[in-house]
Amino acid sequence: MATPDLLWQTIRNENAKSEVEREEILANPGFGHFFTDHMVDICWSTGGGWHRPRVQPYGPISLEPSAAVLHYGQEVFEGLKAYKHADGSIWTFRPEANARRMQRSAHRLALPELPVEYFIESLRKLVAVDGSWVSDADETSLYLRPFMFAKEAFLGVRPANKVAFYVIASPAGAYFTGGVSPVSIWLSTDYSRAGKGGTGAAKTGGNYASSLLPQAEAAEQGCAQVLFLDSVEGKYLEELGGMNIVLVYKDGTLVTPESESILEGITRDSILQLARDRGHAVEERRVSIDEWREGAASGDIVEVFACGTAAVVTPIGQLKAADFTIGDADAPAGELTMSLRQELTDIQYGRLPDRHDWLTRLDA
């Protein structure tokens, strides 16, 4: 059955930021601090399906205190970016992949699956009113955050019959305060991020809530991110709190963990494709912390990086654990890491041909 067209309503924000205020924010956005003037809101109910799609002023959401999401965490989200090209056009990167991942996350959290068309239309609608928030400064973008949650006022534990889907947008510079220089990460051995059969592969708030304490431990150790191991044997690499991890071997092979309990990163998938295009071997397989330790000591593993929408590609200089350290906090950024990062961002910003058809124009 074809997805029915949505009848959109747009309510303009009468108190939108002035151009001067907006430019001031765009000059130094950081990550996740500021929000554009509007947001998208679509309702869903068991009987009514998706309805009442609108673009409205960004602002507080009114919820009953008994709304299910506040009690049982039934929510999912996505993250992707809008980029301005040199000719002023606005594009996003592989939005169908985010839309489909949101469907998989929703399925796991017993939420309704938003059609891919609605997901992408929502991004277009928001950019139509807030396009001036996409900066043309180097390495900046507009981070788009679609999310969906159970808003039914009901305390019984079952999937909610009323759900809301929103998209908000936040101008973004570098995710880490140090820019693109190598980061140190902390190995969490006391906590797991996700277990077998759990929600690790879904982009749902609970996974991030459970990463906050180990993330705080990482910060105490002077580390920018936490690395989790598998929850069964405590041996195999999973991912960081908010990014995937990739190891580069001396012979040019890229290795990244295979696991049912990590997020299938779209940045990782894209980077691995670019590496394959250059003739690198790519392996998605289990990789143990001992393999990393031994490989780094012997010189077999020459670079390690983190990747994700927010972090793009960030070199990892050092891994700190309670009783050992790998690498060096002052290590220079890996050459392949930086050149893959450059190629990916060149495609995203329209400086290189989009040979894999990854870009979708949002402002036309």
Scanning 85-93, 129-137, 306-314, 321-329 for contacts with ligand COI by CB under 6 A, the matching segment is: 306-314
Residue among 50 and 81 whose Cβ is closer to ligand COI: 81
Among 112, 295, 308, 317, binds ligand COI (CB under 6 A): 308
Residue among 68 and 262 whose Cβ is closer to ligand PLP: 262
Dihedral in degrees, nearest 10, Cα atoms 334, 338, 340, 346: 180
Residue numbers at the binding site for ligand PLP (CB under 6 A): 79, 239, 242-244, 263, 265-268, 308-309
For the chain, give the number of residues.
Answer: 364
Q: 169 has which bridge partners? A: 144
> Is 309 near ligand COI (CB under 6 A)?
yes
Tell me how far, at minimum, the Cβ of 332 lies from ligand PLP, in Å: 24
Residues 131-170 close enough to bind ligand COI by CB under 6 A: none
**204, 108 in Cβ contact below 8 A?**
yes
Residue among 163 and 243 whose Cβ is closer to ligand COI: 243
Residue among 90 and 226 whose Cβ is closer to ligand PLP: 226
Tokens 């494709």 correspond to 273
Scanning 66-74, 108-116, 230-238, 305-313 for contacts with ligand COI by CB under 6 A, the matching segment is: 305-313
- Please give the residue whose beta carbon sits closest to ligand COI in the complex: 79
What is the chain's alpha carbon radius of gyration, rounded to the nearest angstrom?
21
Per-residue CA distances from 317 to 101, 135, 181, 275, 329 (Å): 30, 30, 9, 21, 5
Scanning 113-121, 128-136, 280-288, 302-310 for contacts with ligand COI by CB under 6 A, the matching segment is: 302-310
Tell me how far, at minimum, the Cβ of 116 lies from ligand PLP, in Å: 16
CB-based contacts of 264, cutoff 8 Å, min separation 6: 101, 201
Tell me how far, at minimum, the Cβ of 243 lies from ligand PLP, in Å: 5
> Is 310 near ligand COI (CB under 6 A)?
yes
**150, 69 in Cβ contact below 8 A?**
yes
DSSP line for 136-204 = -STT-EEEEEEEEEE--B--SSS--SEEEEEEEEEEE--SSTTTTS-EEEEE-SS--S--TTSSTTS--
Residue among 90 and 311 whose Cβ is closer to ligand COI: 311
Q: Which residues bind ligand COI (CB under 6 A)?
A: 79, 242, 308-310
